[in-house]
Structure 1
Amino acid sequence: MSEVIWHDLECGGYDADLPLWRELAAAEGGPVLDLGAGTGRVALDLARAGFEVVAVDLEAEFLEALRARAGELPIETLLADARTFALPGRRFPLILAPMQTVQLLGGPDGRAAFLHSVAAHLAPGGLLAASLADAMDGFDAEHTEPPLPDIVERDGWVYVSQPVAVRPGPAGISIERIRQIVSPAGRRTAEGDEIHLDTLDGDTLAAEGVAAGLRDAGRRRIEATEEHVGSEVVLLRG
């Protein structure tokens, strides 16, 4: 359960992209395929707006939480990797890869597998919308203050996630956090967590999509918030 709490704490409060996904769903129709669905941040919002959603994620614990939250909402879940998912005979007018899903696929080979899987599941003329994080500035103790920590309390337990470093490299950027748990009795434990985002721009992803048989359909923007960087959304059609 703690991984669900961390995911919700670090990702679940982001909502700047939700109006765009609703707009695209209204234009393209459903059902919508949500890749990297996590605990349902996007899928639940779309389902509440009346769209059928198939939510795909690699973490069973996340999908279990999503199903519990969905209740009677029209959400189907699939435990699968975004690079190799398979829904035989199913095609979708809209496939979403929100936040930085495509930057977590392990480089060009992983994205190629992802794009071929998407192409196999798009309805004719269907749309893929994939968001890419804007470039992030590095920080450390000698340069600028890190962002404020994310904090939540659950049944007397306090969870704190503190970003401590953003380290750009030639192939991507590493984001390091310290995760702390404080028990009701005041005992504290801490551990590190790190994610790596591939370096990727919209033109590169669009070219890779064309190589996979898709058509470049332009770009959209999601503006930055106080807590989150902005995103470029790459649109590709089947």
Structure 2
Amino acid sequence: MTPSRRRRRQVAPQPPDAPGSAPVSPVPPGPLPGLECLAPLTAEDVWLQDVLLGPFSGDILEYLALARATGGPVLDLGSGAGRLAVPLARHGFTVEAVDRDRRSLHRLLDWARRVGPGVRERITTTRADLLRLRLRRSYRLALMAGAMIAAVPPWSRPRVLREIAGHLEPDGALAFDYTAHDTAGLIEQPHRAWSFEVPRFDGVAEWVVARQDFDPVAMREHVTYAIERSERGRRRAALATTDKWVVDRADLHRELGAAGLCVADERQHWLDERTRSVLLVCRVCS
């Protein structure tokens, strides 16, 4: 039996039962509708992480273009394993990568070393939580990619944004993306579930059922990923979760203004009929 046939006959895992659970739908062609995971993942989840960040896969080129326009140094907040930091350093930029997960920072440095000694020398890592962020230098460009802003509670966002704005050089910029949800859609359908296969090229077949549970009143989102991996007839199950805050556009723009930041550019594209991916580029207000 060929690997491709085995994948077609694979049965996707089912998410844990919960009150109000939604029927599981196959993900339509294109990017996943806001399923990015903000919690630290293991090294085994690297293939899954690539799929979950699919809506932001093109942002590397956009952030690289911004870095070329502003120059360095670059601050990469919520850097993870270096999805942006390593390519930026490879293109000659000095980068400070900040993340709360020590293992992710270790993987970042390992990757940078494999790319080349010059790349590793241009990267500084800092282990810190965004909620307790204390910066010590100035930057020409600050990034919060992969919807990382959704990890910050609404009551903490003003302080975090002020901290970043206070360490941008006069002609510097803050750029970040987030997933925007239609509020009426959240109220009408607060539970959604999706099944999809994770493309892998290492002989492992991987299927995931991701369930989104929204609380439109608290503006919270909880995502559960039920994962099943099979290799040579052996199956392994795993479970991962993440919690996010639903970002309200009006509140966010008001908080940016209070931090002394003006939106210079706003780009967005639809992921499905009720979900958009939004990229903001902000400058220090003159």
For the aligned pair, the TM-score class normalised by the smaller chain equals 0.7 to 0.9
Cα distance, 1:211 vs. partner?
1.9
CA contact (8 A) 1:83 1:115 kept: no
Alignment of 1:58-73 (within 5 A): 58-71=100-113, 72=117, 73=119
Name the counterpart of 1:83. 131
User: Does the 8 Å CA contact 1:31/1:53 hold for their aligned counterparts?
Assistant: yes
Look up the equivalent residue of 1:108 and give its one-letter code.
Answer: P
Q: 1:140-179 counterparts in 2 under 5 A?
A: 146-152=194-200, 158=204, 160=206, 162-170=208-216, 171-179=219-227
Name segments (4+ residues, structure 1) moved above 4 Å. none
In structure 1, what is the Cα distance between the partners aligned to 2:205 and 2:157? Answer: 33
Matched, 1:9 2:56: no
For 1:26, which of 62, 68, 74 is the aligned residue? Answer: 68
CA distance in 1, matches of 2:81, 2:193: 30
Per-residue CA deviation, residues 40-94 of structure 1 (Å, 9 max, x unaligned), is 1111221222222111111000010000111220221111112323342x10011
Residue 203 of structure 1 deviates from its aligned partner by 3.2
Report whether the alignment pairs 1:94 with 2:145: no
Q: Note if 1:195 corresponds to 2:242.
A: yes
112, 121, 136: which is aligned to 2:158?
A: 112
Q: For residue 65 of structure 2, what is the amino acid of its counterpart?
A: E
The amino acid across from 2:162 in the alignment is H
1:218 corresponding residue in structure 2: 264
Name the CA distance, whole Å, in 2 between partners of 1:218 and 1:22: 17
Q: Give the gaps of 5 or more residues in structure 1.
A: none
Greater C-alpha radius of gyration: 2
Distance, in Å, in 1 between the alignment partners of 2:163 and 2:44 is 30
TM-score, normalising length: structure 2: 0.69
- 1:222 and 1:233 in contact (8 A); partners too: yes
2:168 equivalent in structure 1 = 122
> Any idea what SS the aligned residue of 1:51 has?
coil
1:232 is matched with 278
Q: CA deviation at 1:3?
A: 0.6
SS of the aligned residue for 2:79 comes to coil
Which structure carries more relative contact order (alpha carbon 8 Å, separation 6+)?
2
Given that residues 100 and 197 in structure 1 are in contact (C-alpha distance below 8 angstroms), is that contact kept between their aligned partners in structure 2? Answer: no
| 3-state secondary structure, aligned to 1:148 | strand
Helix, strand or coil for the counterpart of 1:50? coil
Post-superposition offset of 1:192: 2.4
Q: Does the 8 Å CA contact 1:202/1:232 hold for their aligned counterparts?
A: no
* 1:57 maps to 2:99: yes
Q: After superposition, what is the alpha-carbon deviation per residue over 1:126-181, rounded to whole angstroms, capped at 9, x for unaligned? A: 2111211132778xxxx988241225365x6x373513322222113222211234
Q: Contact 1:60–1:79 (CA<8 Å) still a contact in 2? A: yes
Q: Is the contact between residue 94 and residue 127 of structure 1 (CA under 8 Å) also seen in structure 2?
A: yes
Aligned length: 226
What one-letter code is carried by the residue in structure 1 that aligns with 2:223? I
Partner in structure 1 of residue 84 of structure 2: 42
User: What RMSD, in angstroms, separates the aligned Cα atoms of the two structures?
Assistant: 2.9
Identity of aligned residues (%): 28
**Do the aligned residues in 2 keep the contact of 1:98 with 1:131 (CA within 8 Å)?**
yes
Q: Distance between the aligned counterparts of 2:276 and 2:89, measured in 1? A: 24
Q: Given that residues 206 and 236 in structure 1 are in contact (C-alpha distance below 8 angstroms), is that contact kept between their aligned partners in structure 2?
A: no
